[in-house]
Structures are given as structure tokens and as C-alpha cells.
Amino acid sequence: MTSASGRASGANRLPGRDERLERHLVILMASRLGLSVVSLAIGLGLDALGGNVTVSEWKGFYVTVVVSFVATLIYRPFVGRIERPRLFAAVNIATDIVLVSALVLFSGGRDSVFTFLYVVVAIYAAMLFHRHAALACGGLAGLAYGAVLLAGQLNLIETASGPINPVVLGTLWIVHAGALILVSALTSFLVAEFEQTAQALDERTSDLENLQTLHQRTVESLMSGLLTAEPSGRVTSFNREAERICVLPRALAIGMDMEAILPGVREIAEVAGESNQGARARMPYRNRDGEDLYLGVGAYVLRDLEGAATGHVAIFQDVSEVVRMERELARSERLAAVGQLAASIAHEIRNPLAAISGAIQVMGDFAERAGGESEKLMAIVEREVDRLNHLITDFLQFARPGAAKPESVDVAEILVEVAEMFEPIRPAEVRLEAEAEAGLAACADPGQLRQVLWNLVLNAAQAMPEGGLLHIAARSAWDSDPQGENSTSRSVAEERVFWAEISVRDQGVGIPEEVVDRVFDPFFTTKRGGSGLGLATVHRIVEDHGGTVRIERLEGEWSTAVRVRLPRAEVAA
């Protein structure tokens, strides 16, 4: 029943109500009830003490108190439902003036203890209405009090107090009426000042909330991690990007030492404090998911309005991709320099090498006839000359590869050809599996693509001395175009760069973590007798085709994967 009546009450409320006026009306009615109870208690007390009041006055007094209760019960349901609330408020004030006048009249007139209730009515009138209306209510209250004094002076009702000097009576009325008007004026002024102050406070509060919201949204929208900390290092704020980079919820980060979150950041913050200009650094970082990253960190001194240091601010970004690109650029610059040097050195070495090889063959004929130790030595020399010639050939192929002639190449056919080439030399303990997406085509030079896959297959097989599975797979792949995010006119398909991705996985001994970044450097190898040019040549060819190649350390069934991405062609040739 209570819920139903509450819903009905809300449904009957008129839209666009003056909630402030309604709230004050409710307070007014509650005060009327309270004052009625107090008046009744005072009246009963005076009656028990035998106050100087006639029987007729007591009857009128009690009737007035009852009417006050009844009026409140009648008026209360109309709050929030009447169309003209200010008129309704005026009716309430007029009712209270009448009731107070009746109480004063029936409780001794000019000697009544309830005269102060006129002041209460004047105060409420000032709270409900503007200044002029409040003054009018104060004036009406003064006139009502004058009417009460006049009724007592003329003995219109039977009272215990008789008439007094008219001059004294007039002075009494002027003093009370003036006091009521003054109270109304002063209260209305204070109410107006209070409302202006409250409005200004609301505006300042709203501005502060908007500023706080803007600050919070700005911090949360930053594409950089941000944390602030006390001078002791205890973290006081931690934004959303910081949560993502560190894989650490804000609730856990707040209160932690910033050094526990970003090892090394305290030293940067100390440098920033000493220089008073901030400090920047790049440092390796491993987040809680075990992912190895590089962070660009900037630390600054947090200051208050007076400029005093109150803590630290650290801004950091994941620059792992930038570090990778810098390494790729450095590698490319090294390869370019090596390539220029290699072309000249290899040419100069190869010419005398041919002469040496011919002379060794002639000397070999004499060694065969002489036999013995000379024949063994000549065999060693011929073998090493062949190895040197093979190394120079690889070096020339890396340093000065032939000009690529890209065309649409069926990747599946290339995989089949490489598998057939590998089969005659495949170690018995190594198994080869190859699979390719139907119709997948890459934009590449067929010969150079075969060379890339051949080098990767040989490298993977050599990494499995105890045997295992060597798996080659080709599929379509895509990534976002860097300009796609700022484009509004292109379709989703146009905002993607499509690739033909070829992955070579093996179950070999794997690659140590500390050398992963060096495997594509020329002459770097972890295999005994290796030239260190196979993967360097792969990197050079793929880069010349506008593709990418990366090596991954895996866990579980597979140990290593090399992923080559080349631009995808529309259809296979």
C-alpha cells in the first residue's frame, strides 16, 4: 500500500515544480504543527497555574489550536499538486497570521505570551517570497496585531485586561508593527544574500566538478602511462594506460612504491629533482605478464601552488616498437656498408683464388704420383679452397643480390618445389610438413623467394641435430595501415595492408634469448662451421621486397619460428 501510494503521489505531481518553494512549505507546515503543540502545552500550563484569562478566552484559545491542526492536515496534500504554488504559499501565510492573531487575542491580547509568533510568521514569509512580498506580509502581521489590540481595547470579547491609555496602546502597536516590518526586511535581505551565496557556491562547485572531470578525462585519455607519487615514493595516482602497460590494476598500484612498479624510475626521479628540469631515460621493463618491453620514461618534480616540491610525476610509454625499428635501421645501415665493402673485397679475393685453385690442381697431379703425406695435404688445401670459394659466393650473393623482378607467385607451388629440393638431402630423423592456403599469391621474385625458403629450411634442419618436425605454413595476414586511423573516406578494407605470411617452425635446440636480436646480422652464427650469411641474406631479400621477417622463441612443442611477410598479390599467376 505504501509503495502504491508513493507511486501515485509521484504520478500526480505537476511537471516543472518549484522544489525550493515546496520544500519550504513542508517546513512551514511542520513548524505550524510544532508551534501548535508548544502553544497547547503553554496554554495548559497557564491554565493549570490559574493565569489571568477568562473562560471564554480559554475556549477560543483551544478552538484556535484545533483549527491550526486541522488547517495543516487540509493543506499538506496540496503541496506539489497545485498549479499556483506561490498563491498557495500566500494562503498559508494568511492562515498563520489569522491563527496567531486568534491565539494572541484569546490568550490575553496585549499581555499574551504568544505575540512572538508574529515574528516567526514574518521570518517564514521572508523565506517564501521576495523582498517586497515579505515586507507586505510583515505589514499585514502588524495590522493584524493592531486589530487584536483594538479588539481588546473596545472589549469586543470578554477579556481579563481592561482598556489602557490610547497613547500607550498606539505606541505599543507602532513598536511591534515596526519590529515586524524590520524583521521581514532583515530576514528577506539575509535570505537573498544566502541564496546568492548558495548560487555562487553551486556554480563554483559545478566548475570544480567540471574541472575535475576534465582533468580525469584528460589523464585517462593520455596514450602514455602516468603516475604520481609522494616524496617517499608511494604512488598516489595511476592512469588507465599505466594499467595497460604494467598489467597492474589501479587499486593495487595505489599505495605501492613506484620503484616496485617501475624498477629504475626512482633514480630518474632523483636526477629530475637535482636538475630541476626533469629527466628522461629509456629502460628495459618486464610487466606482470612476463612481456619484455622498452619504456621511454620522463620524470618530473610535482609542485604545489607555491612552487614547493610535493612529490614526483612519471610519464612513460611503450617504445618497444621504436627500439625494434631503430635496430632494424641500424642493421640496414650496417648491411649497406658491408655490402659496399663486400663487393670489392670478394671480387679481389675471388680472382687470386681461381689462380690458386688451378695451381693446386696441377700440384695435385704430382702429389698423386708422389703419394703419401703430400696427397693428404693437397686434399686439405683443395677442400679449404672450395669452402672459401663457397663462402665468397654466399658473401657476394648477400652483398650484391640480383635485382628483384616481382610478379604474382603461387606460394603453394614454391613450397612444393622447396620441399622436393630438400628431400634428397633431408636427414632421416627430420620430418618435413608443408601446407598453404589455397590460391594464396605473393608479389615476389620467384627465384629469390625460393632462396629465402631454402635458407630457412636448411637453417631449421641444422637446428635439429636429434631430429624432429619441420613445419612450413603459408596463409593470408593483415595489419592496420598507419594512415588508416586518420582516414575517413576509405573503406575498412582500404585501411588494411594485406600480406602473404610464410612461417617456418622447428623443434630444434632453439635460440638463446640474448642473441635473438642479432640473428640477422651478417657473419653472426651460433652453428659450428656456419658462415652467418644465410639469415642475413633472407633479411636482405625480404626487405628489398617491402616485406618483414622476424624470429620468435616459442615454448612447448615448438622451439623457434621464423615469420616472413611479403605483399600479397591479387591472384596467383
For 424-452, what is the HEC assignment? HHCCCCEEEEEEECCCCEEEECHHHHHHH
**How far apart, in whole angstroms, are the C-alpha atoms of residue 454 and residue 236?**
56
Q: How far apart are CA 366 and CA 94, in angstroms?
A: 141
CB 370 within 8 A of CB 560: no
Beta-carbon neighbour count of residue 522 at 10 Å? 22
| Across 470-497, average pLDDT | 57
What pLDDT score was predicted for residue 310? 87
Handedness of CA 308, 310, 311, 313 (dihedral sign): negative
Do the Cβ atoms of 458 and 443 come closer than 8 Å? no
**Least confident window among 45-59, 270-284, 301-315, 404-418:** 45-59
C-alpha angle 422-423-426 in degrees, rounded to nearest 5: 80
Q: Where in the chain is the domain with CATH 3.30.565.10?
A: 407-481+490-567
* pLDDT tier for residue 31 given thresholds of 50, 70 and 90: confident
Q: Is residue 532 pLDDT above 80, yes or no?
A: no
Asked whether the beta carbons of 108 and 168 are under 8 A apart, the reply is no
Q: State the sign of the Cα–Cα–Cα–Cα dihedral 304, 309, 311, 315.
A: positive
Q: Specify the domain boundaries for CATH 3.30.450.20 within the chain.
A: 225-318
Mean pLDDT of 11-40: 66
Q: Tell me how far apart the alpha carbons of residues 128 and 86 are, in angstroms, rounded to a whole number.
A: 8
The CATH 1.10.287 portion of the chain extends over 323-399
403's grid cell: 635485382
Minimum mean pLDDT among 52-66, 231-245, 434-448, 538-552: which range?
52-66
What is the b/e burial string over 294-327, where b = at least 16 CB atoms within 10 angstroms of the residue's CB? Answer: bbbbbbbbbeeeeeeeebbbbbbbbbbeebeeee
* The pLDDT value given to residue 84: 78
| Stretch 30-57: mean pLDDT | 67
- In sequence order, the β-bridge partners of residue 505 are 471, 561
Q: CA-CA distance, 540 to 291, in Å (whole number)?
A: 28
Give backbone dihedrals phi and psi of 234, rounded to 5 degrees, phi first: -75, 125
- Tell me which residue of 233, 216, 240, 244 sits closest to 299, measured CA to CA: 233
Which phi-psi region, left, alpha or beta, contains residue 38 (left: φ > 0; alpha: ψ -120 to 50)? alpha
User: What are the pLDDT digits (tens) for 318-368?
Assistant: 888 888 888 877 777 766 666 666 665 665 566 666 666 666 666 666 656
Residue written as cell 629469390?
Answer: 448
Question: Residue 486's pLDDT is what?
Answer: 36
- Residue 308: pLDDT band (50, 70, 90) is confident
pLDDT at 504: 93
pLDDT for the residue 495: 44
Q: How far apart are CA 226 and CA 220, in angstroms?
A: 9
In residues, how long is the chain? 573
**Nearest by Cα to 227 from 321, 295, 132:** 295
Q: Using 50, 70 and 90 to split pLDDT, how confident is the model at 559?
A: confident
User: How many whole angstroms separate alpha carbon 42 and alpha carbon 104?
Assistant: 13
Q: In the chain, how many H helices and how many E strands?
A: 16, 12
Superfamily covering domain 407-481+490-567? Histidine kinase-like ATPase, C-terminal domain (3.30.565.10)
Interatomic CA distance for residues 102 and 112, integer angstroms: 11
CB-based contacts of 46: which residues, under 8 Å, 6+ apart? 53, 107, 113
Report the chain's mean pLDDT, rounded to a whole number. 77
552 Cβ contact list (under 8 Å, min separation 6): 560, 561, 562, 563
Does residue 274 have a pLDDT over 60?
yes
C-alpha cell at 436: 598453404
What does the buried/exposed string (b/e) look like for 115-152 if buried means 16 or more CB atoms within 10 Å of the residue's CB? bebbbbbbbbbbbbbeeebbbbbbebbbebbbebbeeb
- Residue range 379-433, pLDDT digits in tens: 666 666 666 666 666 666 665 556 667 889 999 999 999 988 888 888 888 899 9
What average pLDDT score do residues 186-199 get? 82
Closest CA to 240 of 257, 227, 259, 255: 227
Detail the DSSP E strand segments found in 2-111: none
Check whether 313 has a pLDDT greater than 60: yes
Q: Is the pLDDT of residue 456 over 50?
A: yes
Query: What are the tens digits of pLDDT across the range 193-231?
Result: 887 888 888 888 888 888 877 777 777 777 888 999 998
- All three cell numbers of 443, joined, read 608479389
What's the CATH number for 323-399?
A: 1.10.287
* 438 vs 367: which has the higher pLDDT: 438
pLDDT at 276 over 80: no
**Lowest mean pLDDT: which of 27-41, 47-61, 148-162, 476-490?**
476-490
The closest of 417, 419, 507 to 464, measured between CA atoms, is: 507
Identity of the amino acid at 197: T
**Whether this model's pTM surpasses 0.75:** no
Per-residue model confidence as pLDDT tens digits over 124-167:
787 777 777 778 888 888 888 888 888 777 776 655 566 677 88
CATH no. of 225-318: 3.30.450.20
Rounded to an integer, what distance in angstroms lies between the CA atom of residue 460 and that of residue 538? 13
Res 33 pLDDT > 90? no
d(CA 133, CA 45): 36
